[in-house]
Amino acid sequence: MKNILIISALTVSGVYFLAKNKVSRVINDYKLALNNLTYNLNKLSNLGFNSQLIRGKVSLNITNNSALDLVLKTAGKITLTRLDFYTPKGLYIGYATPNLSEIEILANSTYTTPEIDFNVPLTSVSIKVITELFSNYQNIQIKPTINALGKNYTF
């Protein structure tokens, strides 16, 4: 009986540590892949202006530069919740809230997002931003925020 308990305890411990190591490796692989994503502006459309803001639609190309397929079909458990946009000089432009949770980006390939609504509030600083935006919009810097199981990660 004592031998059975010892063998059972060793088996359960071994399975636990193997599963824990595998999960840790998978998490580390995904972190590495997420940190190697690049984001580029694909399309800017439906621009409109009024006295308080600029609004329009944006589509992005997200490139997976890793050897790992990123498949996020998580029933909303992992969601691309926010995109912050900056000029190449680091001036803040605005943000969009895509709320995408069904994303599949194969290794070394590019995913094009659907069009996402965005708003840029007009302030005294934004005139400089607008000028740079229209002259250099292909080089806009994008910082995505992903919510995973209730915790936000910005890349």
Q: Which helix (H) or strand (E) holds 15?
A: helix 2-35
Tell me the domain boundaries of the chain: 36-154
CA atoms of 138 and 132, how far apart (whole Å)? 11
Task: Indicate the burial class of 90 (C-beta count within 10 angstroms; 0-12, 13-18, 19 or more).
Answer: exposed
Distances (CA, A) of 26 to 15, 30, 38, 127: 16, 6, 21, 45
Task: Indicate the burial class of 60 (C-beta count within 10 angstroms; 0-12, 13-18, 19 or more).
Answer: buried
Specify the pLDDT at position 95.
Answer: 82
36-154 folds as Immunoglobulin-like (2.60.40)
CA atoms of 56 and 147, how far apart (whole Å)? 24
Beta bridge partners of 70: 105
Distances (CA, A) of 7 to 37, 70, 151: 45, 39, 39
Specify the pLDDT at position 136.
Answer: 67
DSSP string, 45-102: EEEEE-SSEEEEEEEEEEEE-SSS-EEEE-TTSEEEEEEEEE-TT--EEEEE---B-E
Q: What is the full per-residue pLDDT of the chain (155 aa) written as tens digits?
A: 544 544 544 454 444 444 445 456 656 766 777 778 888 888 888 988 887 888 888 888 889 998 888 877 777 777 888 888 888 888 888 888 888 888 788 889 999 988 988 878 777 566 666 666 666 666 778 888 888 888 888 87
Global pTM value: 0.64
CA atoms of 89 and 139, how far apart (whole Å)? 10
